[in-house]
Structure 1
Amino acid sequence: MDNSIQILSEKVSLIASNKTWIDGLAIEQLEGTAELPNMVKVVGMPDLHPGKGYPIGAAYLSREIIYPALIGSDIGCGMGFWQTDISIAKLSIDKLTRQIGNIDQPDTRHKYNLGTIGGGNHFAELQKVSKIFNEQLFEHYQLDAKKLFLLVHSGSRGLGHAILQNQISRFGYQGLADESPEAHEYLVKHDNAVAFAMLNRQVIAERLLNNLNSHGRELLNVCHNFLQKVTLDHNDYWLHRKGASSALDELVIVPGSRGDYSYLVKPIQNEALLLSLAHGAGRKWRRADCKSKLDTRYTIAELKRTKLGSRVICEDSRLIFEEAPQAYKSIDSVIESMQQANIVTVIAQLTPILNYKTQGGH
């Protein structure tokens, strides 16, 4: 089951089946990152796609040097997942759309927009279970297929951005010796941003569930942009994840685009693949290309409906095009690649019901 693991060089591996679309530029960036000083190994996930200098959807292992630029500006970005008490029986999407309200304004006017989703590919989504693949694990985690689930994808908002901008203004994109005062200073800020991002997802969920007159049980709250110290083969390393979930987490949700499925999985740890998983579907199109590819084929109203019958709340015309399902890879090809690499056990497939991005208020 490991035919999706491609060894590109001594330092570079890629998880991708023959059905997985991978941009050649992303592989070039992955190979370039492997040449950074003290970089030991890099592994691209099946959602790998080009980023600003470094690819997104990858894990990077270094020795004695940390690279803040690899983590990027949205430190702590990740996924939170809640079992709600909203019954799917007699479900009205019209009613949910009215009830969900507007959470674009920050909670208690916090400086860094606590409790807000943000732009880009961030979202909150109500979902229902469409298929159970592992009944034993589904029951073990006391999941209820008769109730909706809430998925929140967001990060550290302005805080992470401020940390990276300060870092670049002082040191550029170079790495920092891990025992240096500058590295320690960054790591403290990094950990604060991770904590903020996790809290942000919890506050978003609380605000949305309150609007929906519902309650939720947190099933997971995990990051995919963060730095972690790990010990492999009795040696200490720094593991950077940029758009890669941790296989050390008990449960991980891997979302598709707003018009595709999400999958709840249990990670299987593999040190050779840097204890990491894909974090989502991964982009196919650059943001700048989306509007020209779509606006002659679809109206904005049409883009607020998906082929799976779900609705989209997005009062930002730019984002409605940039985040269209067509701009993303098929999530099924990503999941299949990870199954072939034997790094996940798939528990359940979830279908989107209502995707919230912005009401356009902030």
Structure 2
Amino acid sequence: MMLTKVGPNRYRLEKQGDMLVEGRVFLSDALREQLGDDDSLKQLRDVACLPGVFKHVLGMPDMHSGFGMPIGGVFAAEAHTGVVSAGAVGMDINCGVRLLATDVPAASLSTKALRQLMLSFESRIPTGIGKKTQYAEFRGSALQDIFVQGAKTVVDKGYGMRADLAVTEEEGQMPGADPEALTKTAHKRAEQLGTLGGGNHFIEFCAVSQIMDEEVAKTFSLRGGALVILIHSGSRGLGHQTCTDFSRLMLEAAPRYGLRLPSKGLAAVPIKSPEGERYLAAMSCAVNYAFANRQLMAHAAREALSEVIGTKSNEVRQVYDVAHNIAKFEMHFGQKVLVHRKGATRALPPGHPQNPLQYQSTGHPALLPGDMARGSYVVVGTPLLDETFFSVNHGAGRKMSRSEARRKISEAELRDNLGAVLVNARNLKAVVDEAPAAYKDIDEVTGVLAELGMTRLVARFKPLAVIKGEDDE
């Protein structure tokens, strides 16, 4: 695959064959060597062949192969002539991250207190694949409001604060949702609200280990040494089913529009087609469901903190909630486009009108989880991110598949890597595919765009205790 280095941390995927635009990939030399001839490069090339693709396709520093479009891939489609692809959003629609901040000194928490926090949270939020909601009011017909109004419905029922919505992407309510667009099977899989899931989903209790930008960190209510909580989950079985349903539908419909698809995983239809509009309406339902899901988990985290260490709900502040699997209409380079971000995080720069009011002067936080041992970052975007449609990586990115990790990483190695970090898994072997060694180095990955002046590092977190679901979805 022709990937040419064109400057520090920059590579170009040469336009060739059926490609309509070039690819731009952001990698350090070490990450480029690690990537090798990964399938993600071919997948990015395939994305560049889609009709109506705008400007260029993008690979973020954490890019690795996925279903259809690589994870860590970004592309924009012209709103009137382009296509929408379910595979370019991904199976876990609106998988994303929420950050809660406290003033509690992390060092004041004993191992016993951390374990109590984990148990208290798990008593409220089921973890693992296929688990059903414990919230009776969010079953059956009550889900219709969730599909349309997202996190607002949950807050209206007392699970959270109005202030949470102001610092949630789309204010927790993506427009254009229509429950009628979902299939019957998708509806049946929607009774998982307030569940964590498996795979790479987690709740993490962390310490703010480093502040790189004091002024921005102060705006974000982040204090050195304080306890913070990261919540990483998505739309659960609903999102998975929606992607499956519409990938099949798009594959069948594409020939009617004269589309030659580069791969089955990139099944696509015109944005303006009935199938395209129906997908976006169904996707928005799953987006809103995921916002509501993380809202319920934030409420559970506040309750756990109150039970174990006596904090009040308003002392656990939401910093931000951001999606990293989503398609959204946005304006870029003077044109309306549908930006597909799959394993990529939006990072609007200071002054952008879509920033929350309190973050207008800084840009909103972009939340970048690493792994269970090495930690995570908060960054902000700069105006130079216009090149990437204001997109950054979504974390560290995998360097081993799950099956490879299970073969190569022992339970003893995982235990050694974790050190003092607590994990809820009764059997570490069950989460060995989530071992730090299965992931790229978050410092290396996050440094790529920062060195180019496209992001600014704000803070770094150190994991203290991690809640995982033991099953992979």
Aligned-partner SS, 1:337: helix
**Residues 104, 226 of structure 2: 8 Å contact kept:** yes
Distance 2:293 2:240 in 1: 15
Distance 1:308 1:317 in 2: 13
| Paired AA for residue 255 in structure 1 | P
Aligned-partner SS, 1:145: coil
**Residues 71, 227 of structure 1: 8 Å contact kept:** yes
Aligned-partner SS, 1:136: helix
Q: In the alignment, which of 327, 338, 344 is matched to residue 455 of structure 2?
A: 344
Would you say 1:314 and 2:425 are equivalent positions?
yes
Shifted more, 207-216 versus 258-267: the winner is 207-216
Distance 1:198 1:242 in 2: 17
**Residues 315, 358 of structure 1: 8 Å contact kept:** no
Pick closer, same or farther for the CA change 1:85–1:358 going to 2, 3 Å: farther
Shifted more, 351-360 versus 224-233: the winner is 351-360
More strand by share: 1
Post-superposition offset of 1:307: 4.5
Match of 2:408 in 1: 293
Equivalences for residues 153-232 of structure 1 within 5 A: 153-172=232-251, 173-213=266-306, 214=311, 215=313, 216-232=316-332
Match of 1:17 in 2: 28
Distance 1:75 1:288 in 2: 23
Post-superposition offset of 1:316: 6.2
Post-superposition offset of 1:146: 4.3
Post-superposition offset of 1:62: 1.8
Post-superposition offset of 1:75: 0.7
| Paired AA for residue 122 in structure 1 | H
Pick closer, same or farther for the CA change 1:156–1:23 going to 2, 3 Å: farther
TM-score, scaled to structure 1: 0.91
**Residues 5, 341 of structure 1: 8 Å contact kept:** no
Distance 1:136 1:99 in 2: 31
Aligned-partner SS, 2:35: coil
Q: In the alignment, which of 67, 76, 85 is matched to residue 67 of structure 1?
A: 85
TM-score, scaled to structure 2: 0.71
Structure number with greater Rg is 2
Distance 2:327 2:449 in 1: 22
Q: In the alignment, which of 352, 358, 362 is matched to residue 469 of structure 2?
A: 358
Distance 2:88 2:318 in 1: 29
Equivalences for residues 1-362 of structure 1 within 5 A: 3-10=8-15, 11-20=22-31, 21-25=34-38, 26-40=40-54, 41-63=56-78, 64-101=82-119, 102=122, 103-104=125-126, 106-109=133-136, 110=139, 111-172=190-251, 173-213=266-306, 214=311, 215=313, 216-248=316-348, 250-269=364-383, 270-295=385-410, 298-299=411-412, 303-304=414-415, 306-307=417-418, 309-315=420-426, 319-358=430-469
More helix by share: 2
Distance 1:263 1:222 in 2: 14
Shifted more, 302-311 versus 346-355: the winner is 302-311
Structure 2: 5+ residue stretches without partners: 1-6, 16-21, 140-189, 252-265, 349-354, 356-363
Number of residues of Structure 1 aligned to a counterpart in Structure 2: 356
**Residues 304, 313 of structure 1: 8 Å contact kept:** no
Post-superposition offset of 1:152: 0.5
Post-superposition offset of 1:199: 1.6
Distance 1:272 1:147 in 2: 35
Identity of aligned residues (%): 31
**Residues 304, 311 of structure 1: 8 Å contact kept:** no
